[in-house]
Amino acid sequence: MNAARWVTIASSLAAFACAGSRQASSGLNHQNQIITEEEIVDSKAVNAYEAIRKLRGNFLSYRGRTTMMNTSSPEPTVYMDENAFGPLASLRTIPASQVAQIRLYRAWEAATKYGNGNMSGVIEVTTRSK
């Protein structure tokens, strides 16, 4: 009986510890998905692609095969000011001086915001208002 009680207590503590760390890390993950205007300026990048490469290179990582039929791109799709803009290479055409924020949307977030068809996620570039 005493051993069963210890197992129950240990299991409860482990579950509580895991739940607490998941909540704390989710806030960090959200912040790691956003590149701010200040970071972009400080990076001295020439274009959006270079800013991402310098600040959050994981945004540019190869996602691998995302469908059974291999019909979607293994790279995130680029959106600018909430409109489809192009493939990853199109980031090189966006001057860093015009960028207010860059955000990575994972596949499930991209599907919620932009609909299906973005199985490798979305990199959204928000430009500075004039």
- The 10s digit of each residue's pLDDT in 64-115 is 554 555 555 678 999 999 999 999 999 999 999 999 999 999 989 999 999 8
**CA distances, 10 to each of 6, 7, 14 (Å):** 6, 5, 6
Residue 114 near residue 125, CB atoms below 8 Å:
no
What would be the CATH architecture of the domain defined by 34-127? Answer: Beta Complex (2.170)
pLDDT at residue number 117: 83
Query: What is the rounded average pLDDT of the residues 18-45?
Result: 71
Helices vs strands, H then E, count in the chain: 4, 5
110-116 — which CB contacts under 8 Å span 24+ positions? 110/76, 110/77, 114/79, 114/84
